[in-house]
Amino acid sequence: MKSTRLLLPVALAALFLPAIATVAKDETPAPPVGLGVTVYVTIEYFDPIRFERMRYGLMTGDELILATLRDSATEQARFAGYAGTVIVLAENAKPPAEATVLRLTWNGNAVGADVTQAGKSKYLGVVNRLPISYHPDFMRMQRSIDTAGVPNARRDAALRAEVQMDLFQALQYLVRYQKGLTPRD
**Each residue's pLDDT tens digit, 49-58:** 888 888 988 8
Cβ pair 83, 32 in contact under 8 A: no
Reported as a single tens digit per residue, the pLDDT across 67-110 is 999 999 999 999 999 999 999 999 889 999 889 999 999 998 89
**4 pLDDT more than 60:** no
Bridge partner residues of 113 (DSSP): 104, 125
Cβ pair 56, 155 in contact under 8 A: no
Check residues 11 and 141 and name the one with the higher pLDDT. 141
CA distance 158 to 44: 20
Enumerate the H helices of the chain as residue ranges: 2-27, 48-55, 65-80, 138-146, 151-178
**12 pLDDT more than 80:** no
CA distance 1 to 7: 10
Cβ pair 147, 161 in contact under 8 A: no
Q: In terms of C-beta density within 10 A (0-12 exposed, 13-18 middle, 19 or more buried), how is residue 76 classed?
A: buried
pLDDT given at position 143: 95
Is the full-model pTM beyond 0.85? no
